Chain A
Amino acid sequence: MRTGDFKQTYGELVTLVDSPPVWLWSAVLVAGLIAAPFVLNSYALSFLMIILITVVGTLGLNILTGYTGLISLGHVGFLVTGAYAYAVLVSKYQMHPLVGFLGAGVVPALASLIVGAPSLRLKGLYLAITTLAFSFIINTVILEARWLTNGARGISVQRPEIFGFSFDSDAAFTYLCLGFAVLTLFATLNIRRSRAGRAFVAIRDNDTAARVMGINLHAYKLFAFVTSAFITGLAGALYGIYLSFVSVEGFPFLLSIEALAILIVGGLGSALGAVLGTILIVLLPEATRFVFSLFSAQIDAVFTTGAQELKSMLYGLVIILFLRFQPRGLVGAWHDIRRMWVNWPLRY
């Protein structure tokens, strides 16, 4: 049983992680992820890429929905805007990929100011509907602006080469995604432990009290929208590169639902939850398929033909089960396990 947790300076009180074992295990995890491309086959590696890209996107949504409590059903709109910004800048105008990534963040951030403006007055379901409408409007805008986006034909995207280093191979592209995921995770955790993050959470928990504390509600709701859209846009660019082709069909509305499912399953308002939720939700359809294929080859065939429909059903089922049995999500379960382990064999 661990006892004592002593701090000698105030600096130690504001550190990101105050426990050496957590740093150690995180380092082991990153080392494992770096080694992964040499071990995994290309099919398994594609799942790893999807997980890393989805982590970036859900961390983005987490800032808006998890921290600030503003529900967005339209995050796929930011995803597709980011992907198109990258594709147009890099594939069409041959700009540097880093400029492309910058654009993939900035363009959705600007778009978020338009969607964010109503959020200053709308709450809950009304805001959810507004953001939902935004994601459909964005699709129409992209399809109509043929001179810029090639309309329904889409834009093909090459894997980038940055400063002479080519991210063309699967392994290299996995590292690029890993880099983005790690940086986003640090950025989110840092926001959460500083003034801006506390302001977001204050707005979520009690907006009247937040205002009395001197938090400018309008400004901070817009900050949350902009930050969230910036990060989500980056995930969109990565997803576009992964698909090697950016089109409106590549970003179905289901992605918005998937992102919300991830947050609920992981535990709302927690960066760790977003990561755990992503792993579960991305691997869930595959795991289900595997389990059923043990029993019958026909069910396996159903999974291949009706993949999208089955995915939606699975997400719905998982959300209901988690809300009923583990409303604090995977991260809540993790906290319970950890507490039990620390005190074992005593009860508390």
Chain B
Amino acid sequence: MPSPVMPTSKRSGGPQRPAAVSAAGLRKSYGDKTVLDGIDLHIPAGSVFALLGPNGAGKTTTVKILSTLVGADDGRARVAGHDIATSPQAVRAAIGVTGQFSAVDGLITGEENMLLMADLHHLSRREGRRVTAELLERFGLADAAGKPASTYSGGMKRRLDIAMTLVGGPRVIFLDEPTTGLDPRARHNMWAVVRELVTGGTTVLLTTQYLEEADELADRIAVLTDGRIAAEGTPEELKRLVPGGHVRLRFTDPAAYRSAAGALRGAARDDAALTLSIPGDGSQRELRSVLDRLDSAGVEADELTVRTPDLDDVFFALTGGTDQPFEETSR
């Protein structure tokens, strides 16, 4: 009888919840191409964890391994308390997977897809009908329930896909690029779905190449690049990792600009544009000190902007520059 939870590790701060997903040293190569080069993960139960990275970083491969679709070459992982290598069926019974590519049966209707899932989860006919009706309603598919899934729009297919994933009441859900290819409205709907899942106690591991999405949804983010985790933490922790925050002052009067530059030693000057940039973390205290010094110098800036580092800065700093090739690869 395996214990229901992994022993908790002591590497991250804060109160430790039992891990829904934990992995150590996952490796995978296809031929001589190394796709995963030692991945460690610790995802507390009931949280949203985002794997963020460019195409080809190994996000999908990680999901495929953790969801028992493919085997790892090396390393160990437990999902919902079960070892993925030694008890894959127990893992499968606890998870739901929505892959990058639509996992619906296009030849049959949305409702038939849902009933197929209910049958495969061994629900009674009555229970299957109830769950199907409820989920189709919840995902706005009740009207399209009788149409073949192949006629659905991209957003509808994705919703049906998630609805099918939820039929068995999974405790851990893997969402591989759940919003890729969706329009903004469909994307926001998907975010609402993910938030709702977590309030119900489900653990969500999602992959995304959108920084905004990880920032919006995830409790913790791992930045994956070239098969390794380059950084891991809360969105705020990651933002603190990189410089880039500053207060920017713009002037129209050259005299005021010169006085301000004299009062604020250490500011980066742009004499042509009459702007000053003062590096910092964007805190209230720091902002007040800048304003105090401007006051005592008797100058007033015409425009003041505060810029905190966002995940874009983190992403580009960690994944090697802005010229990251975003070519379409499927893996």
Co-complex (A, B): no
